[in-house]
Amino acid sequence: MFVWRSRPFGIRSETFGKELEFPSPLSVLKNMKSCLTFLLFGVLFNNSSLAQDPWKNVYRESAWKERDSWQRPDEIIKNLNLKAGSHVADIGCHEGYMTLKLSKVVMEKGKVYAVDVDQSKLDLLQENVNEQKVNNVIPVKGEYDNPKLPVNELDAVVILDTYHEMDDHAKILQHIKLALKKKGRLVLCEPIAESRKNLSRQQQEEKHELGLNFALEDVKMAGFEIIYQKDAFADRSKVKGDMMWILVAEKK
């Protein structure tokens, strides 16, 4: 049986003959302050991590409304230089975020070629097309180095957040060039985090990003004329922790 004798900041056990020390009130307060600081930092860090989610799916139909707040789709479409009756391709269309916007711009007499290599994405696209009763969209199952577009028919091509996923950029650009009419436009829009701008191309693409400098080199090598470029075009820093650049080129 233990017999405890209270002391100001300690207790002595008569059984073991040892004094058990308790911390002073000042020490307790200091420790509590450290714990609260640590917990507060954890909350802020978690909130920041949730706000900047590099794997957040911004392509599904349910995310389109929020995406409109930072993607600047109207500016992208403006740079395509479209009008009623134009023929345009959306390469890497996913579920149809840009495709359905383009279909309204080119109207009934126009055509939108919605290209993706993933049939499941094209199936979801078709569901959205049917739901909105759109009849000027043509789904195309492309290949990784060939978007399978009609020759010399298109007024413009847009590749949004997809160019970094392609393997043979030179082949893709040549196919696009063949599909475009003279003076037809190509618009690329891709993400890159500031902290990864100096990485190699392979390292950037592994992070599903690409720097503007690499795309510029590709497009110039393919024989396009650069019309416009902007490094900080769409701000995704609060959503995915990066920025998107835009590049507008024209077939000579």
On the question of pLDDT at 22 being above 70, the answer is no
Q: What is the pLDDT of residue 26?
A: 61
Q: What is the pLDDT of residue 24?
A: 65
> Domain boundaries in the chain?
4-51, 61-251
Q: What is the pLDDT of residue 48?
A: 39
On the question of pLDDT at 135 being above 70, the answer is yes
pLDDT band at 173 (very low <50, low <70, confident <90, very high): very high
Section 154-177 average pLDDT: 97
Q: What is the pLDDT of residue 27?
A: 62
pLDDT band at 41 (very low <50, low <70, confident <90, very high): very low
Q: Which CATH architecture has domain 61-251?
A: 3-Layer(aba) Sandwich (3.40)
Place of tokens 């900041």: 9
Report residue 114 as tokens: 């919605």
What percent of the chain lies above the pLDDT cut of 90?
Answer: 73
Q: What is the pLDDT of residue 57?
A: 65
Q: What is the mean pLDDT of the chain?
A: 85
The span from the CA of 101 to the CA of 120, in Å, is 20
Q: What is the pLDDT of residue 25?
A: 58
